[in-house]
Structures are given as structure tokens and as C-alpha cells.
Amino acid sequence: MLNSKKKNYQDIEERSFNFAIRIIKLVNSLPRTLAATEIGRQLVRSGTAINSNVIHAKTATSKKEFIYFIDKANQGAQETRCWIKMLVVAKIIKETPIVDLLKENTEIISILITISKRAKKKK
């Protein structure tokens, strides 16, 4: 891999890790209601899976495997956005405190899409 590519992959690995920590902290702050608990469980799963799949992609043994895990990370990021929005729409949390979290989620999705598209072009 080129140095610039390594930097990008390291960046997404670090960003997705920090994002996962923020998701965990958000879920820990949710009210103790049935809906918040169930959505929170899904949110932790999808939000932490992003980083896990990025790490799997980084250690992939083939381009096909790399693309698979980057796409899985993107799916996790898309799902995470859905759960966060559900918390807001269901009025379990207010949107104001999580605006930055949603912005970071959107940026991670954009990065993962770009990485996937570039990797697919080089087939």
C-alpha cells in the first residue's frame, strides 16, 4: 500500500474507534426504558461493528476480502445512523446533543464509500 493510503486507513480505523466509544457513552446515558434499552443494544452492536470491520479489512488477505469488510463497515455505519435517528424521533433523546455524533457518522460513511469505490476501481 502507498503511504497516503495507509494514512487514510489508519485515519478511518482511529475515527471509527473513537466513534464507537462515543456510541457506548451515549447508550450508557440513555434512560432505563424498554425502548431505550433495546435500541441501545442495537446501537452498540452496529456502532462498534464499524471499527471491527475496518480492522478486518486492514488485515484482509485479498482485495475481495478487503472490499467485503469495508462494505460491512459501511453497512454498520448506515445502520447506526438509523438507530440514532430513531432515538431522536421517538423522543428518547434530544437532537441537539448528538448533532456532532451524527455529523461524524455521516463523514465515516462518506470515507467508507470512497475507500470501497476506489478499491473496486482497481480490480
Q: What are the domain boundaries of the chain?
A: 3-121
pLDDT at 21 (0 to 100): 98
Give the CATH number of domain 3-121: 1.20.1440.60
pLDDT at 46 (0 to 100): 98
Cα separation, 114 vs 52, in Å, equals 18
pLDDT, tens digit (0-9, with 9 covering 90-100), for 86-100: 999 999 999 898 999
Query: Does pLDDT of 1 surpass 50?
Result: no
* Residue 3 banded pLDDT, cuts 50, 70, 90: very low
Cα separation, 19 vs 5, in Å, equals 21
pLDDT, tens digit (0-9, with 9 covering 90-100), for 44-69: 999 999 999 999 999 999 999 999 99
